């Protein structure tokens, strides 16, 4: 395996999932590892114990300004690199991610708390963006045509938009950076990336792999920070030409408003409230199986996770029983333990938010069919092997939920399935679409004509039809309504980083 070469003052050695490996802990600025200008650090917490296990350098606004200077300095040269050069670099990085897959998976499970099978799945998924956009880099095309009036020729070409600020969330610390970086590099843009404060280590490890792959100094820089505003302050810089953000709707909308003042191109992947609809003609066993896939990856801490289970009343009892059975089979434990299938939530704040949502749902009339806050309170008895300081929440099924409940109108981001019953397809569609969000949706049905017509009327940017997993690097990812702007992945993803230029020829 290719060895990392990080100065000892900017690295630490971690043990996880039976591995011992070196991890960067500095800022990655101008192609070098260094401390933040104020000497501050961020503590990274093990969600399974509630204790810090690593300290990472924290960037200041001065560091962000310096990173911007370096990105601008190399932007023109990077834009002039050949498509083949950019393609081959991304392919080398794809190979390195797979070469270091075990370390990347263990690192994610350590800093996020996520079960190893989910972390391994993310490494594979994240790498696919590198491979996909390595193929797109050499396929950027233009157009040549006769003007309709016959008085010249219309030629279109593309050029990179310029320096990019990429802000990523904590729940997919590897895939969210590859989803943004790969098309940006393929297009010829430089990138300044800010990882989430809760999970900065994975992106820092990835940055070292990028250095090994040959990304030129200053083309990709990583700035962990204890205050996001220190890096988002770059939105006032006229030289910044693109913002890509994944995170909460409130923060994304605020950043977009700031970016608009400089007319900075913006793409946003924001919150969701995904419906999972089980139509009257659905196969219940299949619906339960796909419901688990749509809900429980990463203990439910996924933007496209099913949030509202909307089930035809004729199938509801059987579906609820099946869901309780399958969710009761999850094994809680530290994410790095090979026996674990569901790790803790990422933070105490996240765990407490889920607990409060469940309490409110019960107060409003929901029935706890599995788990819930009583099970949380008894974890010391039922799971004495779990560290009481970890951020645990048991797999939970709530029934008797209605569209008016608070839990039906908020993104849960935890292992809680809230089931609503409906009496018709039209009622199901109305309930599914009755939200300001529109990121993902799911529908299950065996009558394909009815099922596809239902899917086409769902107000979501992505719809899983008889499947609970829909993310694919070769498909466009993004939402409608208040779930975002633009698309990542697919053929569309690289367009977010390209300006179209029209040449008028007098021929």
Question: So what's the pLDDT on residue 458?
Answer: 98
Are residues 58 and 40 located together in one domain of the fold? yes
pLDDT band at 112 (very low <50, low <70, confident <90, very high): very high
pLDDT at 352 > cutoff 90: yes
Across the range 424-452, mean pLDDT stands at 98
Q: Is residue 473 part of a domain?
A: no
The count of domains in the chain is 2
Q: Are residues 305 and 258 in the same domain?
A: no
Tokens of 380: 């010391």
d(CA 355, CA 372) in angstroms, rounded, equals: 8
Tell me: do 105 and 78 sit in the same domain. Answer: yes
CATH number of the domain enclosing 451? 3.40.309.10
Strands laid side by side in the 306-312 sheet: 367-370, 396-401, 416-422, 306-312, 274-278, 440-444, 462-465
C-alpha–C-alpha distance, residues 116 and 295, integer Å? 17
Q: Label residue 507 by pLDDT band (50, 70, 90).
A: confident
Q: Which two tokens stand for residue 180?
A: 């943004």
Residue 298: per-residue pLDDT: 96
pLDDT value at residue 12: 97
pLDDT over 90 (residue 293) = yes
- Can you give the pLDDT at residue 253? 97
My answer on whether 377 and 299 are in the same domain is yes
| Long-range contacts from 154-158, C-beta under 8 angstroms, 24+ separation | 154/502, 154/503, 154/504, 154/505, 155/502, 155/503, 155/504, 155/505, 156/500, 156/501, 156/502, 156/503, 157/500, 157/501, 157/503, 158/187, 158/498, 158/499, 158/500, 158/501
Is 269 among the catalytic positions? Answer: yes
Q: Which domain holds residue 58?
A: 13-270+484-503
266 and 279 both lie in a single domain:
no
Is the model's pLDDT at 178 over the cut of 90? yes
Catalytic residue among 122, 269, 280, 495: 269
Structure confidence at residue 326 (pLDDT): 98
Looking at the predicted structure, is the pLDDT value of residue 300 above 90?
A: yes
């Amino acid at each position: 395996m290719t060895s990392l070469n990080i100065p000892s003052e900017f690295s630490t050695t971690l043990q996880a999932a039976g591995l011992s490996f070196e991890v960067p802990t500095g800022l990655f600025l101008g192609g070098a590892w260094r401390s933040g200008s104020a000497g501050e650090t961020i503590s990274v917490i093990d969600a399974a114990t509630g204790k810090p296990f690593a300290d990472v350098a924290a960037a200041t606004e001065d560091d962000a300004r310096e990173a911007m200077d370096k990105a601008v300095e190399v932007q023109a040269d990077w834009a002039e690199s050949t498509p083949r050069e950019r393609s081959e670099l991304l392919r080398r990085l794809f190979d390195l991610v797979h070469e270091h897959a075990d370390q990347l998976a263990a690192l994610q499970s350590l800093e996020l708390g996520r079960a190893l099978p989910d972390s391994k799945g993310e490494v594979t998924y994240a790498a696919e963006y590198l491979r996909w956009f390595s193929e797109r880099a050499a396929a950027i095309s233009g157009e040549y045509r006769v003007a309709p009036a016959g008085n010249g020729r219309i030629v279109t070409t593309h050029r990179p938009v310029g320096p990019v600020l990429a802000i990523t969330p904590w729940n997919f610390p590897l895939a969210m950076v590859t989803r943004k970086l790969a098309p940006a590099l393929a297009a010829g843009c430089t990138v300044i990336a800010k990882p989430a404060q809760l999970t900065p280590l994975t992106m820092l490890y990835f940055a070292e792999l990028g250095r090994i792959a040959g990304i030129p100094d200053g083309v990709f820089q990583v700035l962990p920070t204890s205050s996001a505003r220190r890096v988002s302050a770059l939105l006032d810089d006229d030289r910044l030409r693109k913002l890509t953000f994944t995170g909460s709707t409130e923060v994304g909308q605020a950043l977009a408003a700031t970016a608009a003042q400089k007319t900075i191109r913006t793409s946003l992947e924001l919150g969701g409230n995904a419906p999972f609809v089980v139509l009257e003609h659905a196969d219940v066993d299949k619906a339960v199986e796909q419901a688990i896939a749509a809900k429980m990856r990463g203990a439910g801490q996924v933007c496209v996770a099913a949030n509202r289970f909307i089930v035809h009343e004729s199938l509801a009892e059987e579906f609820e029983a099946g869901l309780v059975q399958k969710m009761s089979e999850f094994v809680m434990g530290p994410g790095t333990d090979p026996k674990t299938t569901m790790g803790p939530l990422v933070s105490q704040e996240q765990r407490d938010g889920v607990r409060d949502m469940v309490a409110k749902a019960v107060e409003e009339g929901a029935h706890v069919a599995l788990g819930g806050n009583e099970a949380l309170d008894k974890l010391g008895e039922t799971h004495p092997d779990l560290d009481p300081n970890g951020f645990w929440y048991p797999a939970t099924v709530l029934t008797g939920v209605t569209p008016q409940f608070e839990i039906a109108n908020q993104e849960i981001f935890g292992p809680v399935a809230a089931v609503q019953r409906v009496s018709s397809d039209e009622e199901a569609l109305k309930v599914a679409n009755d939200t300001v969000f529109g990121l993902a949706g799911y529908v299950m049905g065996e009558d394909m004509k009815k099922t596809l017509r239902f899917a086409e009327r769902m107000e979501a940017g992505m719809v899983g039809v008889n499947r609970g997993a829909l993310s694919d690097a070769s498909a466009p990812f993004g939402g409608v309504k208040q779930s975002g702007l633009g698309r990542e992945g697919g053929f569309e993803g690289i367009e977010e980083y390209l300006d179209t230029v029209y040449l008028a020829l007098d021929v």
